Amino acid sequence: MQQAGGFFSDARSFLIRYGWKLAGALLVAYSLAMGLVMQVPQLPVLGESIRNLFYHVPLWFSMTFLLLASAINSLRYLATNRPQLDVLAAAQVRVALWFGFAGLFTGMVWARTTWGTWWVNDPKLLGAAAGILFYVAYVVLRNSMDDLQRRARVSAVANILFFCMFIPTIFIIPRLTDSLHPGSGGNPAFNVYDLDNRMRWVFYPAVLGWILLGIWMASLSARLQLLQAVAAGLWDQDVLTTAVRHEQ
């Protein structure tokens, strides 16, 4: 009985620690594959390009989730002064930026197919570019300071400020103006008229999978940064130990 109890306890610990990571990888792989082979509605103008819905939109959702998590961790850092929270917040911004660049690229490909051009001066597209530039400025600002505590506090305040600017720039202002982009300026979003039940079985797993994968990538990046800082003698080993314990 004790052996059986130990086995189930180990299995439970394994699932808690690695299960969500495995689920994220599998969901992303599933959505990437199904997005290419499943049948999709054949709509005017969009045609087969509607498959980009499984890639472009989940990347932006995942980016927004990571930026929200990063802003929360910056708030937690200002409240607790724990350096691992600052490192995690910065890592989440870096991963979110990669997702944002991928979202911009997939969006430009989609625009070329449906609008006949790679880029238009559309409020939604301009807002997306501005939002990414906010966080490019965050990275530049963070890397311009050598003092660890000053860098952490200044970048935490900037991170919170940029997130408060990012949300209206991306989601609110484009809805108040004329826009070609679905879901903005009076144009219906995809789920109103063409996201049928078949597509939902790929779209929602894609969103969840990319979010989980982004969280995993950010945690790996943060741990690497902590290891480098401890190896360089910038922080004590206790900082890394505490961060690993909280992750587990």
Q: Split the chain (248 residues) into runs of 10 and give each run's mean pLDDT.
A: 52 72 93 87 73 90 96 95 92 96 90 82 85 94 89 94 92 74 52 66 93 94 84 61 50
Which pLDDT does position 154 carry in this prediction? Answer: 95
Output the CA–CA distances (angstroms, integers) from residue 10 to 3, 5, 14, 17, 247, in the order listed.
10, 9, 6, 10, 17
Dihedral over alpha carbons 225, 130, 180, 56 (to 10 degrees): -10
Tokens of 105: 């690229």
Phi, psi of 235 (to 5 degrees): -135, 165
pLDDT score recorded for residue 170: 86
Q: What confidence score (pLDDT) does residue 53 get?
A: 87
Torsion of CA 239, 245, 247, 248, to 10 degrees: 160
Q: Of the candidates 34, 78, 83, which has an alpha carbon nearest to the alpha carbon of residue 55? A: 34
What is the reported pLDDT for 248?
47
Q: What is the pLDDT of residue 123?
A: 81
Three-state secondary-structure class, residue 191: helix
Helix or strand or coil: residue 55?
Answer: coil
pLDDT at 111: 82
Q: What does the pLDDT look like over 82-115, one tens digit per residue? A: 888 999 999 999 999 999 999 999 988 888 888 7
SS3 117: coil
- What pLDDT was estimated at residue 162? 95
Q: What is the pLDDT of residue 133?
A: 94
